[in-house]
Amino acid sequence: MKPWIHTHEHGALRKRSITGAPTTSGPMMTPMVDVVLVILIFFMGSATIAGHEWFLGASIEDNDPQPTPAAPTLGLPTPIIETRVVMLGTTPHVLGLGPDPITLDEARSVISSMDMDDPDTIVVTISADDDAPMGDVVDLHDSWNALGVRVRLE
Amino acid sequence: MRAVSIIQGSRKGSGVNVTPMIDVVMCLIVFYLMVGQLAIEKRAQISIPETTTGIDPNDTVDPIVIGIGEDGTIHLDNDTIDPARLKGELQGLVSRSPGAPVRVRADERAGFGDVRPVLDTLEAIGVTSVEFVTLKPMGGG
């Protein structure tokens, strides 16, 4: 045990060694704590960036979609827009948004320019060729999702 | 017990003993390095596409996650699974966790022909909707 005495200096009770040795002996902790905090913040930041995932929902029911609450009052069937990603050569194209196949970029602009009053009453089906990359299918899905329609994969 | 002379005053090495703290800190750093490396390796197998829209996960039940690699290999709970066994395994998972969301982590380079059989299997066992895992754009969302 280290010998200590208590003295009153400037009105405060302070601890002081009998021999006058400085009370701050030992290693400096401050730089080490700084480094540890920086490392912790770095790893927490990395984990947050790596965890930036979300998802797109899609129906996979083969049956006709159930009408939304708005549709039955009108007595109308649920409108369905059928689209398909096809490979023409090595380039993916989209069928169903016009008389001819259009590229994905064109499809994106066509979809974003659509004006729908009740998009959640509309069902869009997406199908694709076997060799159509999933990234392009998801891209089309994303465009429809931005519009607020319901998407069904076939 | 160390004997210290009052006259001699403080001896060298007095103060806070930081050795255990350094040990703990080093263990934490090694742990995070290993976990980070494992997570990177696991994610590197499947390159999921980036989308501008999506729903943030807010799961009350653990989701059933199906991975589809670039070459069409199917992963269930991070294990590669034979497509012939997929239906049985999925049926077991769905019956054990009714109401659990089914999440598909499909590689953006995989063909839709690799994904369709999985969707058909899910539909056959009564699953009506799936969620495709995508990446949020960096700095957005």
Q: Could you tell me the pLDDT band of residue B7, with boundaries at 50, 70 and 90?
A: very low
Q: Distance (Å, rounded) from C-alpha A54 to C-alpha A24?
A: 52
Better-scored residue on pLDDT, A68 or B83: B83
The most confident of A59-68, B77-86, B107-116, by mean pLDDT: B107-116
Q: Could you tell me the pLDDT band of residue B4, with boundaries at 50, 70 and 90?
A: very low
Q: Does B4 touch chain A (CB under 8 A)?
A: yes
Neighbours of A84 (CB within 10 A): 19
- Cβ contact B56–A54 (<8 Å): yes
What value does the mean pLDDT take over residues B30-48? 73
Q: Does A139 touch chain B (CB under 8 A)?
A: yes
The answer to which of B41-50, B75-84, B85-94 has the lowest mean pLDDT is B41-50
pLDDT surpassing 50 at residue A49: yes
- Cβ contact B49–A52 (<8 Å): no
pLDDT surpassing 50 at residue B82: yes
Q: What is the mean pLDDT of chain B?
A: 82
pLDDT surpassing 70 at residue B3: no
Over chain B, what HEC string results? Answer: CCCCCCCCCCCCCCCCCCHHHHHHHHHHHHHHHHHHHHHHHHHHCCCCCECCCCECCCCCCCCEEEEECCCCCEEECCEEECHHHHHHHHHHHHHHCCCCCEEEEECCCCEHHHHHHHHHHHHHCCCCEEEEEEECCCCCC
Query: What residue has token string 């601890």?
Result: A15
- Cβ contact B18–A27 (<8 Å): yes
Q: Distance (Å, rounded) from C-alpha B85 to C-alpha B125?
A: 13
What value does the mean pLDDT take over residues B43-72? 86
Q: Does A112 touch chain B (CB under 8 A)?
A: no
Going along chain B from its start, the domains and CATH numbers come out as 64-132 (3.30.420.270)
Q: Distance (Å, rounded) from C-alpha A66 to C-alpha A147?
A: 20
pLDDT at B109: 94
Please report, as a single letter, which amino acid is at residue B35: V
Across the beta sheet with A91-95, what order do the strands follow? A102-103, A91-95, A80-88, A123-128, A150-153, A53-59, B129-135, B102-106, B64-68, B74-76, B79-81
Q: Which residue of A32, A59, A134 is in closest CB contact with B128?
A: A59
The most confident of A27-31, A35-39, B59-63, B106-110, by mean pLDDT: B106-110
pLDDT surpassing 70 at residue B46: yes
In chain B, which residue's Cα lies nearest the Cα of A53?
B135
Q: What are the boundaries of each domain within chain A?
A: 4-50, 70-153
- Cβ contact A130–B25 (<8 Å): no
pLDDT tens-place string over residues A10-46 = 544 455 555 555 566 777 788 888 888 888 888 776 6
Q: Does A90 touch chain B (CB under 8 A)?
A: no
pLDDT surpassing 60 at residue A70: no
Q: Does A37 touch chain B (CB under 8 A)?
A: no
Q: Distance (Å, rounded) from C-alpha B134 to C-alpha A32?
A: 39
Helix (H, G, I), strand (E, B) or coil at A100: coil
Q: Distance (Å, rounded) from C-alpha A127 to C-alpha B116?
A: 9
Closest CA to B118 of B94, B84, B93: B84
Contacts of B43 (CB under 8 A, 6+ apart): A50
- Cβ contact A57–B110 (<8 Å): no
Instruction: Choose the CATH number for A70-153 among 1.20.120, 3.40.50, 2.60.40, 3.30.420.
Output: 3.30.420
- Residues facing A14 on adjacent strands: A7
Residues in chain B: 141
Q: Could you tell me the pLDDT band of residue B68, with boundaries at 50, 70 and 90?
A: very high
Contacts of B136 (CB under 8 A, 6+ apart): A52, A53, A54, B50, B51, B54
